[in-house]
Structure 1
Amino acid sequence: MKKIGVLTSGGDAPGMNAAIRSVVRKAIYHGVEVYGIKYGYQGLIEGDIEKMELGSVGDIIQRGGTKLYSARSEEFKTEEGQLKGIEQMKKHGIEGLIAIGGDGTFMGAKKITEKGYPCIGVPGTIDNDIPGTDFTIGFDTALNTITDAIDKIRDTATSHERTFIIEVMGRDAGDLALWAGLADGAESIMIPEAQDDFEDIIERLKRGHDRGKKHSIIIVAEGVGSGVDLGRKIDEAAGLESRVTVLGHTQRGGSPSAADRVLASRLGAYAVSLLLNGKAGRMVGIQQNQMVDHDIVEILNTKHSIDLDMYRLSKELSI
């Protein structure tokens, strides 16, 4: 294999640039040309492709977002769109592809592999919702962003003796809410996989208030529902004044943490090694601090699961 492509797709995540850098430099080290594909699979269809050199990825390891930009492509979900993308790879002589992103990105990688072009998926998403890996690129940075915000909010909650509800990202997975809740000592955590009973939340708030507790922190994953709606219900049920903060896209931005830079560098380099060793249709990951790879179809057919022991611990520690 003499030429490979790399793209980022779906939602951006801090550390994607570090992964791109790793792919480019690892490949060039082994005498392989690398072509950057801008705007994900849509850019592949449109031929928005350029050759990358060592200098192309200089000074990006510390930057958030993605140098190659990102976009979702409805067209690439079709047979016609996939064939257009493959024609562009043929035109540029690209023999294999590394796709950085989440499950939607991996579905595209699967389709390309099935059509005879080897593809490796690299998990990049702040939600940490990809099976087969302990952590995804961007999760650690987003988690630190959330905990830093909650630390600041707690100062205000203490000063004004109020209940604060923080809505974090996590449409289908509650990892960010769970880890942040445990890290920040939240009184209640609401996640899609194991929602706290509303009456239990109210009882916890009342119990804390009765023993002299003046403020509380409740973290809710966006997949559970609106933090604003939850705040309104709590005000009515508990008779306590609450405030709501929706962290939104601040969770995706910022310079990647050291952990995410290292993880991204390791995963990107491992993906290149797999391609050069003739592997296709695989997803790379990290388990017990070791690089692993799995069949991408198996990953797509496996449901993400939360660490329920951590969830139970959070409840035990927030009595």
Structure 2
Amino acid sequence: MRASSRWLAVCTGLSLSVVVAAAEAPGAAAARRQALLEAAGNGVAALPVLQGGLKDANPVVQRTAARLLADLGAPAQEALLEGWSSPDPVVRQTALKGLLKVEAVDAEAILGRALDDSSSPVRMMAVQALVRRPRTAGIEALLQKAAGDDDDTVRAQASRALWPFHRDVTPLRERPDWDHEVAVVQSLPLPAEGWRFALDPRRDGHLKKWHEADFDDSAWPTIAIEQAWEKAGHTYDGVAWYRRQVEVPARPEGVINAVEIACDGVDECAWIWVNGIYVGQHDIGPAGWEKAFTLDITDALRWGATNQITVRVLDSAFAGGIWKPMRIEVLR
């Protein structure tokens, strides 16, 4: 009888107990793992053996058992709940994956528990599962909880899922249907000095209404653009907000085809509001740090009035901020 078959017989005969010698022979764990793989071919009948594998002293054997139980789905629910209490985060992560396949499981309760797990990969898996589910009040509340996670990657994933702003707009100069050359007939540089500035490590500034035109930012310190925020003493990677009121002159005479806000460089992603109206984003990841972009603000701009410009910036590494000039361009 092969070693794997002998181990399978022992597991069955000892009511699923796994007896591991203090110093096991080389290859013994591999043999036990192979026995689990062979047993899995018997489907639900393999449940006792696979559940016994969760108690194995070898982590690779435990993880194999958890994976095979997750593949079984609903029939393995009890065993997966047992695996969910494992000290091994990989086993817990695999058990979570399997439990989420079971329709009878209270998914919100399971995911809520997963968000309290000590392992950030387990919490990340929970957030990814939340994102894929219909947005009920319970799911929304769990995403809000995850948005306050101590781990930046977990927090970022949840914050992105909760992010309510997106606008697909093609700038006039990039429209394939435009039938003549676009000319800039007026350029209004935005001031470099005097921007109000706030860090947003929890990425919840939009929930605090920082993008709204009438938000009171008077308590925020000021900062200059056309430089990295590190130059102003902020050694920081993450989200930060810039706000400034800008005086815009009267509307120029003649035909205006569009008005755009142009930025020569934000490190690395930006979301922009004009007078509380969301006008679009520059969000192509780290590669966007040195790429100029424009956004259409034709319907948001107020001529002959004070306009509120708000920019949310995300920087994931190195220098960050609005490090090049911004301006308003009138196009004809």
TM-score range, shorter chain: under 0.3
TM score, norm. by length of structure 2: 0.22
Q: Which has the larger radius of gyration?
A: 2
Greater relative contact order, per chain length (Cα 8 Å cut-off, separation 6+): 1
Q: Which has the higher helix share?
A: 1
TM score, norm. by length of structure 1: 0.23
